[in-house]
Structure 1
């Protein structure tokens, strides 16, 4: 007892010294980590300043939100010998009879992401949940062997309960069902869909749970992918979460979006991304059925539609880091006539912005559609602060007046399409695990161009004079939040 009293007395007398020593030691270790692992000089300087001038709290904030890389394969000793090999073994590279001006892009594409471009795929746009969800549920109901589903948000609302029911019924008739949900995204619904699934016998997992020994340190890294694969025969990817808000004809606050139904051999690349994510989250290596051409003989009409040359671009703050950013830069170099971008959040880094300006300087028409109002007001302020910089060299920005548009599409000329889960912001390009499809096909490009033009009819062109007329308090507010854009 006397020892404890003496210790308490010593701490009471020296508490200032203890805090100073703790702050110096913690700040030193944290600053060393910033110097060794942060790539951006300005971001590094900002973190070091926060760590030094916010005793203890600055360091704590960095360890919670500042670590943006995770070596998944090394960390979990992923069995590479069992991983499917999608790398190109072809010599010379197969250009699939694509336009000659894209050949250099394909060569660079293999260097950026050494995954095969596969022919004979079909990619069908499904606009809004009113069209996408019935197709997805029908595929689940028709499953005979295996279903894998990954989503950032899976609301347990009236729509989510339809998915839960279909998944449970599939599991009850002997189908293997695996559902992977993000550890933060699951919190968007106060009733947890994974708990409802578990109670009914469906196997679920959370990717980097927010409250766990392994997940808390990487709380800023999220799995933003949306994947549904059924029996190796059909797949769905895009930007659409499972939520009744995507039912535009029924939701109180509707969200516009577009999802994609995929058939063909590229399904194997999509399912492999889920296999790796599931292994990381659970330690279980699953064997999802491969796409088998002989078992997928469609009608003559369906076979005619399988004209898409496609491959998966997997990105995240791990060994796949920066692949989507480099894929976009690589494609912009090949643009000859037009670049069309539709995204809910447009806060590109300086490298991407320079690439867009260089494209516009070559006489290519660059058009960008963003929502007039997104679901995150301070992101709207940052975008508005950047409008004048973006519009340099003839880049045109349109604000879509429809309900909040969550669509994510990039179209170049009349042949290249980029679809999936990625937004044009730091969170998607640096912190999130994302999945996109890089597609070459004139028919798909024409369908998406038609969608882009329709949305442009409901949008208003941003004019320089309108930005200059903004009240001074809005300009100050917008540019203040712009300073924090790398962290949004």
Structure 2
């Protein structure tokens, strides 16, 4: 066979493969911006674009994992039906313009809003570790933990020792650490100590060189969950890391986070999320929390209503994106958001622009320095359009602001592990709390204002004067924003 014929054959096979992938992208019916970005990558980069798409272009959890999730859904659905039938479910007491969010969330994910909870907002990492260690030391039945990043160093050793003590006195201790985010920890001396003491520590979404061709490596369990005896639960943005020791060479300062400590019936709902993750990772039958033994609601005047919102592949991955849009459009006076990574799609960007144009006070607080160069450029490419519509943009100077929070009209909060980027909204396993309470929202708003006091507000006039090379780089990065 002549070299010319070989070249022509390879050329034809390549473009036939490219055409097949483009047809597949179109038929998956993903957001138009994401689909167009992938088509451009596949068509413009010979061979490499197609290989890149095969590696990270689809939500491939693996057939076995997908089957396990599907097998558990009927059981978790039946458990949620029981949860929704209990007297802890919110019947009223939500502002009229926010109640559609509650109904939409329950219709999509089946997790009900639950009254009778108490929440403590903790924004000091030392206080987080103090509370967590004390609660583990008081545990009587079980301690369940799930973290994207578990890192050796500093106060994380205190948590390890507390879990060792709990396991030694007969408390069931189970822990999930993400296979990529906690890769080093899972083979560390601390992990060996935990396992030797009887703590059942597992990797969530484990990966490897061969597995990467069959399972998408960058689909991660990004949740931060601690549940103790179905009576106390923690979630928020803080991984199990001591910020004084974590990524100190990144040049962004210490990570700044916040955690919510929840007591009340919502703790059992969070344990239901952990139970589903645990069942999938361990290939064991689902052990849903006992609702008879769960914490009863506190009917006191300072109790509040919480709705647990878990999202991820296999669990209606579009749910949080839809709910976030509903929250933005429901706002009537004020909208404040904090996030370390801001890469919105066209729908979220339009919602924010529309909110500002309606006369709302819209404030976005992001870190001045970010640990991802590409995300930083893709993020700031949106700033000019947002500021032109009246959105205030503040650059936090006190470190890498990692807190993920949304407050709406001083009456409703979204708080948890979700960044305002497409990876969190569409790809990762995440958890959020929807809090229908003015008291907690005031506390979260006060924390947002403290962040604002440590930030520099961008001036639209000054922003427009930045150089042409920088503007081009930002706009180029914006094109790949749907893929980030």
Q: If the length of structure 1 is used for normalisation, what is the TM-score?
A: 0.87
Structure 1: distance between partners of 2:40 and 2:377: 25
List aligned pairs for 1:318-467, cutoff 5 A: 318-467=314-463
Say which SS state the counterpart of residue 259 (structure 2) adopts: strand
Counterpart CA distance in 2 for 1:26 and 1:194 is 44
| Unaligned residue ranges in structure 2 (runs of 5+) | none
Residue in 1 aligned with 2:75? 82
Partners of 2:220 and 2:4 in 1: CA distance: 44
Tell me how far 1:203 sits from its aligned partner.
Answer: 1.4
Aligned counterparts of 2:258 and 2:294: Cα–Cα separation in 1: 30
- Size of the alignment, in residue pairs? 473
- On the 8 A contact 2:175/2:200 being kept in 1, the answer is yes
- Give the equivalent residue in structure 2 for 1:3: none
1:487 aligns with 2:483: yes
Q: What is the deviation of 1:468?
A: 1.5
Match for residue 306 of structure 2? 310
Deviation, 1:223, is: 0.7
Q: Map residues 41-440 of structure 1 onto 2, 5 A cutoff.
A: 41-68=32-59, 70=61, 74=67, 76-83=69-76, 84-87=78-81, 88=84, 95-187=91-183, 192=188, 194-211=191-208, 216-245=214-243, 253-287=253-287, 289-290=289-290, 304=300, 306-440=302-436
Residues 319-358 of structure 1, C-alpha deviation per residue, up to 9 Å, x if partnerless? Answer: 3212111112222232222111111112211111211222
Deviations, residues 393-440 of structure 1 (Å, cap 9, x unaligned)? 211111111111111111111210110000101111111111000011
Give yes or no for contact 2:117–2:297 (8 Å, CA) kept in 1. Answer: no
Checking the alignment, whether the CA contact within 8 Å between 1:226 and 1:421 is kept in structure 2 is yes
C-alpha distance in structure 2 between counterparts of 1:165 and 1:11, whole Å: 69
SS of residue matched to 2:365: strand
Q: Would the alpha carbon gap of residues 361 and 200 (structure 1) be closer, same or farther in structure 2, given more than 3 Å must change?
A: same
Q: Secondary structure at the match of 2:420?
A: coil
CA contact (8 A) 2:407 2:445 kept: yes
Q: CA deviation at 1:73?
A: 5.5
| Contact 1:254-1:404 at 8 Å conserved across structures | yes
The alignment partner of 1:394 has SS state of coil
Residues 294-335 of structure 1: CA distance to partner in whole angstroms, max 9, x if unpaired? 86698xxxx747511111111113232121111122222322
Q: CA RMSD in A?
A: 3.1
Query: Is the CA contact (8 Å cut-off) linking 1:235 and 1:262 kept in structure 2?
Result: yes
Q: 1:90 to 1:111 in 2, by over 3 A?
A: farther
Q: Which runs of 5+ in 1 are unaligned?
A: 1-9
Query: Does the residue aligned with 2:94 lie in a helix, a strand or coil?
Result: coil
CA contact (8 A) 1:153 1:241 kept: yes
Normalised to the residue count of structure 2, the TM-score between the two structures is 0.88
Q: Give 2:466's aligned residue.
A: 470
- Deviations along 1:148-182, one digit per CA (max 9) or x if unpaired, are 11000000223332222221221121111111111
Give the structure 2 partner of residue 4 of structure 1.
Answer: none
- Aligned CA distance change for structure 1 residues 95 and 357 (closer, same or farther; 3 Å): farther
Question: Aligned pair in 2 of structure 1 residues 291, 455: CA closer, same or farther (>3 Å)?
Answer: farther
Q: 1:67-92, CA deviations, whole angstroms, 9 ceiling, x for partnerless residues? A: 1265866455424453253244599x
Q: CA deviation at 1:30?
A: 3.2
Deviation at 1:53, TM superposition (A): 4.6
Aligned to 1:7: none
What are the superposed Cα offsets for residues 88-113 of structure 1, whole Å, 9 maximum, x if unpaired?
Answer: 4599x954222233334433343343
Q: Does the CA contact (< 8 Å) of 2:307 and 2:435 recur in 1?
A: yes
CA distance in 1, matches of 2:215, 2:91: 43
Residues 175-207 of structure 1, C-alpha deviation per residue, up to 9 Å, x if partnerless?
111111112111365964545533443212222
